Amino acid sequence: MIQAGVIGATGYAGNELVRLLMQHPEVELKTVTSQRYIGKHFCDVYENYREINSLVCEEEDIEKMAEQCDVVFLALPHGVAAKKITKEILKKTVIIDFGADFRLQNADDYEKWYGLKHEGKELLKEAVYGLCELNREKIKNARLIANPGCYTTCSILSLTPLLAEGLAEKNSIIIDAKSGVSGAGRGLVTGSLYCEANESIKAYKVASHRHTPEIEEQLSYVSKQKITLSFTPHLTPMNRGILATCYATVKEGVTEKKVRDAYEKWFGKEYFVRITKEGVFPETRWVKGSNFLDIGFMVDERTNRIIVIGAIDNLVKGAAGQAVQNMNIIFGLEESTGLCHPPIFPG
Amino acid sequence: MIQAGVIGATGYAGNELVRLLMQHPEVELKTVTSQRYIGKHFCDVYENYREINSLVCEEEDIEKMAEQCDVVFLALPHGVAAKKITKEILKKTVIIDFGADFRLQNADDYEKWYGLKHEGKELLKEAVYGLCELNREKIKNARLIANPGCYTTCSILSLTPLLAEGLAEKNSIIIDAKSGVSGAGRGLVTGSLYCEANESIKAYKVASHRHTPEIEEQLSYVSKQKITLSFTPHLTPMNRGILATCYATVKEGVTEKKVRDAYEKWFGKEYFVRITKEGVFPETRWVKGSNFLDIGFMVDERTNRIIVIGAIDNLVKGAAGQAVQNMNIIFGLEESTGLCHPPIFPG
Amino acid sequence: MIQAGVIGATGYAGNELVRLLMQHPEVELKTVTSQRYIGKHFCDVYENYREINSLVCEEEDIEKMAEQCDVVFLALPHGVAAKKITKEILKKTVIIDFGADFRLQNADDYEKWYGLKHEGKELLKEAVYGLCELNREKIKNARLIANPGCYTTCSILSLTPLLAEGLAEKNSIIIDAKSGVSGAGRGLVTGSLYCEANESIKAYKVASHRHTPEIEEQLSYVSKQKITLSFTPHLTPMNRGILATCYATVKEGVTEKKVRDAYEKWFGKEYFVRITKEGVFPETRWVKGSNFLDIGFMVDERTNRIIVIGAIDNLVKGAAGQAVQNMNIIFGLEESTGLCHPPIFPG
Amino acid sequence: MIQAGVIGATGYAGNELVRLLMQHPEVELKTVTSQRYIGKHFCDVYENYREINSLVCEEEDIEKMAEQCDVVFLALPHGVAAKKITKEILKKTVIIDFGADFRLQNADDYEKWYGLKHEGKELLKEAVYGLCELNREKIKNARLIANPGCYTTCSILSLTPLLAEGLAEKNSIIIDAKSGVSGAGRGLVTGSLYCEANESIKAYKVASHRHTPEIEEQLSYVSKQKITLSFTPHLTPMNRGILATCYATVKEGVTEKKVRDAYEKWFGKEYFVRITKEGVFPETRWVKGSNFLDIGFMVDERTNRIIVIGAIDNLVKGAAGQAVQNMNIIFGLEESTGLCHPPIFPG
């Protein structure tokens, strides 16, 4: 059994990870930590675990956890992990970090978009960007996984075949993304109150969201050219889900058939990526509670554009599920182990 | 492997059953039938099953299914099952019926509350009311299970210890229940439209809901006296969940301690019944997606009343989950097999 | 024009009052105050007022407001108003208080249920409980109005004809009430977050909610006997609305006809109280955004009980609308002035 | 008083129109018609009108209504109005049509996008596209108003200053729009059920929605060049609201200042168009229940694009409110008469 620990388990992503690990046949969840709830039973913080989870929230002690655990998941605000993780720790345990600190290979981009000095630059080379479908080989031997953001997972994978196969104009990309409110976390801010988020939709961080450079960096890798794009996140009145509606100008001669071939080539054999039939488009309800990414697309000859739409559950494929998928790869398990739950509907 | 079939699989309860059976380690789901979608792939009706369920909706043929399946689940409107099921069929397969036809032992009550002639009276003696925590022994040898209704499961179990132990006045019981909209099914009625059910709460079928005699009959059995009670269902703007707020006048000398002892005696060892701590009350979010029933209570000395609150997921413990639990009992499996998923939150 | 001021304008009830006063043909809204947003434009706190409300949130100065305003509304946490209001102030202006401090004539009850010393006992005799349909005559000459709570308005009015006319057993009353989340206010607490309140229903403050003694006191007045009752509030996933499902045992010989006569006698001519037709029950969506209270009922001969259901918009008839109605009465205006907006649907 | 009639009053848009007309100081609502509810009281179809609206749904008779009414509003499926309206009728009454039949001046476009033969071509010249802020002068003398669609109102107005002032590249426009579920109407379709639309977001009619040619035609007029654009509507889990997130490539030298000047020039004096401050973006909650259109924008130098965001209430500015605004213009009233209600929040 893999011994696992979760630092920052009482946020929504940490909690979702606990739910998945509890159902994982090869994992023993040993330790959960929390800043706010030290000493409290986890099942008193999240009462869904009443009688089925007896863990107590501990104070974080990453050194000790590195000794005791085969893998430690970090679900912390950005800037914190970069200070905590050291080469010593990575010798003892595998770290899967939900935060942003090791996602951008370009530390300058990090410092510009996050407004923070990067305190763990020396580990950047060691970090592997844990987008499983693209980086599986590197992940196998990684000790430090930068688990991708929710918007980014959905956006990058939805656009990869298009850009990798050179089907779209590189500077034409616009991603209009919609997220459920759990993406904002469990922090106490007015905008996350029920009466504020309910019955309304809004864009936020227009042209300034921090997932932008992460998407650009990864899409630049897959397309082997520098990609600059527009990304607009929206807060949508639902608990879970991300829908990314992506627009790009297609190159001359690009047909729906060619696009489908590209997506089949890249993802036809991927368990967690499901390409919809022609004329059918993803909806977040069809992936809720699961690790699936659904992708659909349409080439619009009137405008010479393609519209690619991706849908994930932000807390699963966009956070905890992908983290487990990374763990499975690293520990040599079947990649879908513990992640085969069908989506729940109506959820 | 248990060979299973589902008749009426494209309603919400049928669909939930498919989701549970797909995850059940001892079941092979062979056949799903539908009236509305014959010939269509199940995953085109419920796209959450894209690529993970290749079944095609068939036309119902219960005779054939009885030959091929060890267990056949029926999720049909009331009145239909009573006509379809015969002794011959029960010789060949186990039937677990989601409908109301075999729930009331008293056929007169059935005819009065449902306004229908009962067309299967001769099978009533054979039918076992599938409330697992109360009827486990009878269920073991049953060939025909009347799977309880959603409101009734929550109400009966929440009140059983109180009444069985003689702690409450028998004619003092009021059940004020709140259900998510999936309880109304997938039929096309104006009241189930998003804009009609959203942002509103209402009572319906006041003093006339058909689950009333079912609750009364079962509570009369456990309390060994005739129980008549008030039951008011409410439509609540959420997908899933039932909360039953139950009121009763306590007999003299009944303390919170005595009540807790009674609930512990009845349910302390039940995996799927979770009794909350003093001062903590169930909420539907904590059971969503699971087969748990959470129960909490408080004795109010000011009014001499007890308030007992129960919460379930109407589609799981209130329908498909309990059906699987019944199947597990009949086929000699661990009762929680395939039903151990923790509730999903936020769900 | 009536010069008006609002203290505590940036909570949900205060904000709703601003919306109503802006549309009132006889009111000039001069001053709004806030603790949290001093110096900020009101339309930057609530952007629905962009370009149509130029007020700036001021620091509270009740003395100055008393000089400048004909009426001052207070929407503050309980305990605060009792300290602020003096006889001097009441000589200069009319006070309509949204808080609980002057609602209970029995100061002992206040101290017991609120756990606070009452700091304005000497004003209790002067305070009038502003339930307009019952206390209209007293309100006319009042200088200090204790504007009723949201649950209480709905519960008391729904039960008044029944109890005043002696149709129900006095100790048989149970009120099972459901409120939208705006009733919890705009404060930052985890339970008010979108992902916590969405897709779930729960009871809270079981047998201990502070509106209980308020309901009991007023129903004791109308029935001329001491009433003790059970009251259970529930948090419901919707922005606005209260539904009170009330249960009582009817006295011998009480028929639906007699009950209807009683309700017609009490409320047949009330503009803001609408009695539903036989077999029709209130739903919160039909009163949203309006000052109406809808009441429906059914006598259940099986159980000898009556079920009375009331529905209001908690922020209007349950707070700001009733406050305006009180102001209209005091200033000799038609009672419905500025309050005739039909409910908005779908809202 | 203006005598008014509404054909198709029992759909959501018709019902909203009734709500607005009931509050209009210069209108007497004489007649409402319905196909489905003939002979039924309007307040039994929409119970928010209990006791405040005594109209009975009549069978449609446009000839008779033309005799009796100064203005007749039509809220019917497309294709129907074109058959019903004649020159004779227009001599007797003003028609304001909520449908699509007279919106496109180009009948070929109509036949292509709607798949219908246009049965009222001879009236196209007479019809005025009722987008009040752009066509006010023509509307003054119109007898037949084609009331714009909800998506189109929001999209066209949000982009007009940009295109009319030549600030954006003409073929670079993408509109990603999100609508509340009331936009789908009250018809009984599975996708409009609560459990289907709740807790999910989806795109639909990708690259094929019929509002596309309407937006293109009008934007071509204002920009004096042929505009072809991408438009993607999304179904969002909320009752009301449209948010249009619009993208365009800006021409060289276009700054935020220049854009603001353009919007101020076009809309600075418009009562119903509110331009947000720099860094602030529209949200549908801030316009709910009102006739306002909020517009915000940002020039993104990284990508050379502008993002313009518009928000309306689809049932008000996107349907019934704009219809009343058109009526006000035609009858020489102050344009905002009966439309000055502030948005309701939380709504």
Q: What is the pLDDT of residues D183-224, one digit of tens each?
A: 999 999 999 999 999 999 999 999 999 999 999 999 999 999
Q: Which two tokens stand for residue A237?
A: 């009145």
* Catalytic residue selected from B69, B150, B154, B246: B150
Q: Which two tokens stand for residue A119?
A: 């305190």
Q: Which two tokens stand for residue B243?
A: 């909360």
Alpha-carbon gap: A187 to the closest alpha carbon of chain D (Å):
21
| Closest to D292 (Cα-Cα) out of D312, D266, D318 | D312
Residue C46 contacts D where some CB pair is shorter than 8 Å? yes
Q: Do B188 and D186 touch (CB under 8 A)?
A: no
Question: How many whole angstroms separate alpha carbon C123 and alpha carbon C143?
Answer: 10
ipTM: 0.97
User: Which one of C182, C190, C196 has the shortest CB-CB distance to A195?
Assistant: C182
Residue B203: list chain C partners with CB under 8 A.
243, 245, 281, 307, 309
Q: Do A342 and B283 touch (CB under 8 A)?
A: no
Q: Do D342 and C19 touch (CB under 8 A)?
A: yes
Question: How many whole angstroms separate alpha carbon D344 and alpha carbon D347?
Answer: 5
CB B38 within 8 A of CB B29: no
Find where tokens 């316009």 sit.
Answer: D287
- Tell me which chains share at least 3 CB pairs under 8 Å with chain B: A, C, D
Question: How many whole angstroms separate alpha carbon D20 and alpha carbon D316?
Answer: 9
Question: How many whole angstroms separate alpha carbon D212 and alpha carbon D198?
Answer: 26
Looking at residue B72, its pLDDT comes to: 98
Which amino acid does the sequence have at D90?
A: L
Candidates C201, C300, C306, partner chain B, best to mutate (most B CBs within 10 A): C201
Alpha-carbon gap: D84 to the closest alpha carbon of chain C (Å):
29
Spell out the long-range contacts of A121-125 with Cβ–Cβ below 8 A and sequence spacing 24 or more: A122/A87, A123/A82, A123/A85, A123/A87, A123/A90
CB A95 within 8 A of CB A72: yes
Find where tokens 């999720």 sit.
Answer: B75
Number of H helices, E strands in chain B: 12, 14
Q: Do C181 and A189 touch (CB under 8 A)?
A: no
Residue A285 contacts C where some CB pair is shorter than 8 Å? no
In chain A, what is the straight-line distance between the N-terminal and C-terminal CA atoms, in Å? Answer: 31
Residue A9 contacts B where some CB pair is shorter than 8 Å? no
Query: Model pTM greater than 0.90?
Result: yes
CB pairs under 8 A between B and C: 150
Residue D245: list chain A partners with CB under 8 A.
176, 203, 232, 234
Looking at residue B95, its pLDDT comes to: 98
Question: How many whole angstroms separate alpha carbon A53 and alpha carbon A68?
Answer: 19
Residue A281: list chain D partners with CB under 8 A.
202-204, 206
Query: For B253-301, how does the pLDDT look when each residue is reduced to its tens digit (9 = 90+)?
Result: 999 999 999 999 999 999 999 999 999 999 999 999 999 999 999 999 9
Torsion of CA B140, B146, B152, B153, to 10 degrees: 30
CB pairs under 8 A between A and B: 83
User: Which one of A182, A195, A237 has the shortest CB-CB distance to C181?
Assistant: A195
Segments of chain C scoring below 70 in pLDDT: none
Residue B52: list chain A partners with CB under 8 A.
342
Question: How many whole angstroms separate alpha carbon B10 and alpha carbon A346?
Answer: 12
Residue C287 contacts D where some CB pair is shorter than 8 Å? yes
Q: How do beta strands A202-203 and A230-235 pair?
A: antiparallel
Q: Do D307 and A206 touch (CB under 8 A)?
A: yes
Question: How many whole angstroms separate alpha carbon B221 and alpha carbon B223?
Answer: 6
Within chain B, residue ranges assigned H as helices are 12-22, 42-45, 62-68, 80-84, 87-92, 107-114, 132-140, 150-164, 194-197, 211-223, 256-267, 321-330
Torsion of CA C315, C316, C319, C325, to 10 degrees: 170
- Is B120 strand, coil or helix? coil
pLDDT band at A10 (very low <50, low <70, confident <90, very high): very high
* Catalytic residue selected from D69, D150, D154, D246: D150
Query: For D287-313, how does the pLDDT look when each residue is reduced to its tens digit (9 = 90+)?
Result: 999 999 999 999 999 999 999 999 999
Residue C276 contacts D where some CB pair is shorter than 8 Å? yes
Looking at residue C144, its pLDDT comes to: 98
Q: Widest CA span of chain C, in angstroms?
A: 63
Candidates D34, D192, D194, partner chain B, best to mutate (most B CBs within 10 A): D194
Alpha-carbon gap: B346 to the closest alpha carbon of chain C (Å):
6
Residue A200 contacts B where some CB pair is shorter than 8 Å? no
Torsion of CA A3, A8, A12, A13, to 10 degrees: -50
Give the residue on D whose Cα is nearest the Cα of C311. Answer: D48
Looking at residue D315, its pLDDT comes to: 98
Looking at residue D236, its pLDDT comes to: 98
**Angle at CA of residue C97, ends C93 and C98, nearest 5°:** 150
Question: How many whole angstroms separate alpha carbon C256 and alpha carbon C235?
Answer: 31
- Is A263 strand, coil or helix? helix
Touching A: C residues 216-255, CB under 8 Å: 237-239
Query: For B141-193, how does the pLDDT look when each residue is reduced to its tens digit (9 = 90+)?
Result: 999 999 999 999 999 999 999 999 999 999 999 999 999 999 999 999 999 99
- The mean pLDDT of chain D is 97
Looking at residue D256, its pLDDT comes to: 97
Give the residue on A whose Cα is nearest the Cα of C190. Answer: A188
Give the residue on B whose Cα is nearest the Cα of C248. Answer: B174
Find where tokens 């219960």 sit.
Answer: B62
Spell out the long-range contacts of B20-23 with Cβ–Cβ below 8 A and sequence spacing 24 or more: B20/B316, B20/B320, B20/B321, B20/B324, B20/B338, B20/B339, B21/B324, B21/B338, B22/A342, B22/B49, B22/B52, B22/B53, B23/A340, B23/A341, B23/A342, B23/B338, B23/B341
Find where tokens 């430090």 sit.
Answer: A144
User: Which one of C53, C240, C286 has the shortest CB-CB distance to D47?
Assistant: C286
Report percent pLDDT > 70 for chain A. Answer: 100
Q: Widest CA span of chain B, in angstroms?
A: 63
Within chain D, residue ranges assigned H as helices are 12-22, 42-45, 62-68, 81-84, 87-92, 107-114, 132-140, 150-164, 194-197, 211-223, 256-267, 321-330
CB D218 within 8 A of CB D131: yes
The Cα-based distances of C146 to A156, C2, C11, C74, C94 in angstroms read: 58, 20, 18, 10, 11
Looking at residue C141, its pLDDT comes to: 97
Report percent pLDDT > 90 for chain A. Answer: 100
Tell me the CB-side half-sphere exposure of residue C177, using CA atoms within 13 A.
37
Q: Is residue B150 annotated as a catalytic residue, yes or no?
A: yes
Q: Do C195 and A237 touch (CB under 8 A)?
A: no
Give the residue on D whose Cα is nearest the Cα of A308. Answer: D206
Residue C174: list chain B partners with CB under 8 A.
174, 247, 305
Looking at residue A27, its pLDDT comes to: 98
Alpha-carbon gap: B281 to the closest alpha carbon of chain C (Å):
7
Q: Which two tokens stand for residue C234?
A: 């529930």
Burial class (CB in 10 A: 0-12, 13-18, 19+), D91: exposed
| Sheet strands side by side (includes D230-235) | D202-203, D230-235, D174-179, D242-249, D305-312, D293-300, D273-275
Question: How many whole angstroms separate alpha carbon A26 and alpha carbon D88?
Answer: 79
Q: Do A286 and B48 touch (CB under 8 A)?
A: yes
Question: How many whole angstroms separate alpha carbon A154 and alpha carbon A134?
Answer: 13
Burial class (CB in 10 A: 0-12, 13-18, 19+), B66: buried
Could you say which DSSP state residue B250 is in?
B
Residue B285: list chain C partners with CB under 8 A.
196, 199-200, 202
Q: Which two tokens stand for residue B209?
A: 């809901």
Omega before residue D346 within 30° of 0, cis: yes
Question: How many whole angstroms separate alpha carbon C286 and alpha carbon C241?
Answer: 10
CB D179 within 8 A of CB D233: yes
Which amino acid does the sequence have at B146?
A: A
User: Which one of D12, D190, D239 has the shortest CB-CB distance to B198?
Assistant: D239
Number of H helices, E strands in chain D: 12, 14
Residue C51: list chain D partners with CB under 8 A.
274
Burial class (CB in 10 A: 0-12, 13-18, 19+), A16: buried
Question: How many whole angstroms separate alpha carbon D122 and alpha carbon D120?
Answer: 5
Contacts (Cβ under 8 Å, ≥6 apart) of C221 = none
Question: How many whole angstroms separate alpha carbon B212 and alpha carbon D257?
Answer: 68
Q: Do A193 and C193 touch (CB under 8 A)?
A: yes
* Catalytic residue selected from A150, A195, A246, A340: A150
Residue B206 contacts C where some CB pair is shorter than 8 Å? yes
In sequence order, the β-bridge partners of residue B244 are: B177, B310
Residue D344 contacts C where some CB pair is shorter than 8 Å? yes
User: Which one of A49, A294, A346 has the shortest CB-CB distance to B239?
Assistant: A346
| Closest to D309 (Cα-Cα) out of D242, D258, D250 | D242
Looking at residue B144, its pLDDT comes to: 98
Looking at residue A199, its pLDDT comes to: 98
Q: Do C230 and B206 touch (CB under 8 A)?
A: no
Segments of chain D scoring below 70 in pLDDT: none
Residue C19 contacts D where some CB pair is shorter than 8 Å? yes
Looking at residue A228, its pLDDT comes to: 98
Q: Do A239 and C188 touch (CB under 8 A)?
A: no
- The whole-number average pLDDT for the span A92-112 is 96
* DSSP sequence for A49-108: GTTT---BEEPP-HHHHHHH-SEEEE---TTTHHHH--HHHHHHSEEEE-SSTTT-S-HH
Q: Do B48 and A346 touch (CB under 8 A)?
A: no
In sequence order, the β-bridge partners of residue A307 are: A247, A298
